[in-house]
Structure 1
Amino acid sequence: MLTKQRHEMILKLLEEKGSITVTEIRDLLKASESTVRRDITALDKEGRLVKVFGGAIANKQSVTSHEYTVAQKEDFSREEKEKIGKFAASFIEPEDFIYLDAGTTTAYMLNYIEEKSATYVTNAVVHAQRLVAKGMKVLLIGGELKASTEAVIGSQAVQTIKNYHFTKGFFGVNGVTKQSGFTTPDASEAAVKQVAVEQCRKSFILCDYSKFDEISSVTFASFYEGEIITDRRISGYEDCKNIIIAR
């Protein structure tokens, strides 16, 4: 297939889907992965798509790779996060084996978690300290500590999580769209989130209104892999059965 034909097909796929991975393009075009990556890079330079980690998105959507620190994010949508965190905590039941993701929105859950017969696994040192102080049973994931988000990441964290089977998991997110799913700026943090979602019987994505229609660099789960807990109805998402409005 000629280069021009491949480019036209990639752009047509993006027009239909909004985003696509290197693997999807490779399989659909029967081309090598290196060829697909070169095509994406060329189209990105021409301004005809936006190259992201592992694939591409239509250039009408904006992408951010910026990651705010925990201190900076604490002041964002404070009331909405409090509402979401309180509601999310109500889903924890006796004997649950819970995964609790690092982040400021999941941190608001800690004010309302009361179930002491559940076991809590987390990659957030601060979350672990606060839960232990409340008398909860806590397993802290080991690995590299990321300074800006205070999350434990890396291959050790990923391998440890693969050994667990959670009844429920609660996750923070930087961006949500139907096409790109749940996204976060850092590839290492995304890898931890991805494997944790895979190990959960049920995953809850804690997401205030400001995260919708935003895209960060890396997808860690597709849109329907988790139930979204948010603070209000979102225009354009009225038909989505996996969205729960906190009350």
Structure 2
Amino acid sequence: MKKTQSIVSKRRDKILEYLKTNETISTNELAERLQISPLTLRRDLQALDEEGLIIRYYGGAKLLNNADTDIDNKNIIEEKDINLKRNLKKNCIAKYAADLIQDGDTIFINSSSTALLILKYLDSKRVNVVTNNGKVLQSTIGPNIELVLTGGQVYERKQSLVGEFATYILSKITADKCFLGVSGIASDSGISTSVLQETLINHEMINRCSGPVYILSDSSKVGRHHNFSSGDINEITHLITDCDIEQKEIKNFEDKGINVTTIDYTKSID
């Protein structure tokens, strides 16, 4: 145990040394330099952040020096607050979605980070989870969850599984419920993604779902259309979003027959 603690301590000292000589550094670059996994690095950065030694922000980290008077640090802190708020919204949406799942359900989850968080809140439910989300292998999965990965070509940036093989596997499965995260959703153009290769996967999940199709999206993505269409608006049944959504957007979706649920993320998650 002492040896393990010593290794961790030395590794975190190296991180601090890098940040002393480099004003900022990306997490990908730092992981490569230290020859450790991104997951291990995230844990180290989280620990150093909690000790008040660094400031984490999206995609990187910076040494903490007089943050109250340093304008650059202040901007990073503000960005950190935005990310914390975004993560809170994601968790609240995912927790609500998990409550909709019953024992014995077979569900589809796509490459969305919000949809993946559903697993965190399933507790002891017996659920068959079918996903193309490679990050599921890094998630904590309950003992009663039967996990099926589609297989297929790995799209590295999102660690998602795509291609003909993944689509073929989905074509052999019928799900009770479908939970999709999106890059954008608009009442006049449907759902969209930033990754062309994922459009067929998302649409196949919709086609192979015998029950409700839930779109999980924070309000910043509502009313937006991203690069590539994944499904028409009439192919989805529910939108679960946060309470910052504009009322006119709610009406636009409800006029199209979409059931809209808004989550008050200001309340604590149980």
CA drift of 1:118 comes to 1.6
Counting matched residue pairs gives 177
Please list every run of 5 or more consecutive structure 1 residues that lacks an aligned counterpart in the other structure: 1-69
Equivalent residue number for residue 13 of structure 1: none
2:240 matches 1:229:
yes
Q: RMSD value over aligned CA atoms?
A: 2.2
Query: 74-83 or 215-224: which moved more?
Result: 74-83
Equivalent residue number for residue 97 of structure 2: 88
Give SS of 2:229's match.
strand
CA contact (8 A) 2:102 2:125 kept: no
CA contact (8 A) 1:131 1:138 kept: no
2:227 matches 1:217:
yes
CA distance in 2, matches of 1:237, 1:222: 17
CA distance in 2, matches of 1:146, 1:194: 17
Higher normalized contact order (CA 8 Å, seq sep 6+, divided by chain length): 1
CA distance in 1, matches of 2:59, 2:116: 12
TM-score (norm 2): 0.60
CA distance in 2, matches of 1:101, 1:83: 18
Equivalent residue number for residue 242 of structure 1: 259
Query: 219-228 or 144-153: which moved more?
Result: 219-228
Q: 1:71 to 1:137 in 2, by over 3 A?
A: farther
CA distance in 2, matches of 1:116, 1:108: 15
Q: 1:111 to 1:71 in 2, by over 3 A?
A: farther
Equivalent residue number for residue 150 of structure 2: 141
Equivalent residue number for residue 58 of structure 1: none
Q: 1:123 to 1:185 in 2, by over 3 A?
A: same
Q: How does 1:158-197 map to 2 (within 5 A)?
A: 158-197=167-206
CA distance in 2, matches of 1:71, 1:169: 30
CA distance in 2, matches of 1:99, 1:196: 6
Equivalent residue number for residue 199 of structure 1: 208
* Partner deviation per Cα, 1:219-245 (whole Å, 9 max, x = no partner): 111123221110114332232142112
Q: 1:180 to 1:115 in 2, by over 3 A?
A: farther
Q: How does 1:2-21 map to 2 (within 5 A)?
A: none
Which structure would you say has the larger Rg?
Answer: 2
Q: 1:130 to 1:216 in 2, by over 3 A?
A: same
Q: 1:193 to 1:71 in 2, by over 3 A?
A: farther
% identical equivalent positions? 23
Among 127, 132, 139, the residue aligned to 1:118 = 127
- The residue type equivalent to 1:237 in the other structure is E
- The residue type equivalent to 2:191 in the other structure is F
Give SS of 1:120's match.
strand
Give SS of 1:220's match.
strand
TM-score (norm 1): 0.66
CA drift of 1:115 comes to 4.5
More helix by share: 2
CA distance in 2, matches of 1:100, 1:71: 25
Equivalent residue number for residue 67 of structure 1: none
CA distance in 1, matches of 2:248, 2:234: 15
Give SS of 1:77's match.
helix
CA drift of 1:120 comes to 0.9
CA distance in 2, matches of 1:122, 1:71: 25
CA distance in 1, matches of 2:192, 2:137: 24
Give SS of 1:200's match.
coil
- The residue type equivalent to 1:84 in the other structure is I
CA distance in 2, matches of 1:98, 1:152: 17
Give SS of 2:88's match.
helix
CA drift of 1:211 comes to 0.2
